Chains A and B, each alone.
Chain A
Amino acid sequence: MTRLLYAMLIGVVGAGVVHAIVLLLLPNYSERDAWARLSANADFYRFTRMSGEGAPPVIRGVDPFFDAVACRFDLSEGVVHVQAAGHVPFWSVSVYDRRGQNIYSLNDRAQTLGDLDLVLVTPAQMIELRKDVPKEFEKSVFVEADVGQGIVTVRSFVPDATWKKAVADYLDQARCAPR
Chain B
Amino acid sequence: MFRIVLPVFVALAIAIAGGAWSVRYALDRGFGMETLTVGSWRAYPDLGTPNASAYARATVGRRGELPLGRAEGLAFLASSDDIGAALERNCTYRIAGEMPIARFWTLYAVDPSMTPLPPIGIRPAALQSSAVLHEADGAVAVTASPNPSQGNWLPLSGSGRMILVFGLYDTPIASSTEISRVVLPRVSKLGCE
Contacts and interface: CB of A to CB of B under 8 A. Distances in A.
A10 interface: yes
A102 B49 contact: yes
B15 A159 contact: no
Contacts of B68: 92, 94, 102, 105
A160 B129 CA distance: 11
Contacts of A92: 68-69, 71-73, 169-170
Interface stretch (A24-32, A117-125, A126-134): A24-32
Given A23-B54, A26-B58, A64-B108, 7 more contacts: A12-B14, A14-B18, A19-B23, A23-B26, A27-B60, A33-B64, A50-B66
A90 B20 contact: no
Interface of A: 3-4, 6-8, 10-19, 21-24, 26-28, 30, 32-34, 36-37, 50, 57, 59-61, 63-65, 70, 90, 92, 94, 96, 99-107, 109-110, 151, 153, 155, 157, 159-160
Interface of B: 3, 6-8, 10-20, 22-23, 26, 48-50, 52, 54-55, 57-58, 60-73, 75, 103-104, 106, 108, 113-116, 124, 126, 128, 130-131, 165, 167, 169-170
A160 to B, nearest CB: 7
A150 to B, nearest CB: 11
A11 B126 contact: no
Contacts of B50: 101-103
Contact of A14 (B19, B64, B114): B19
Contacts of B55: 23
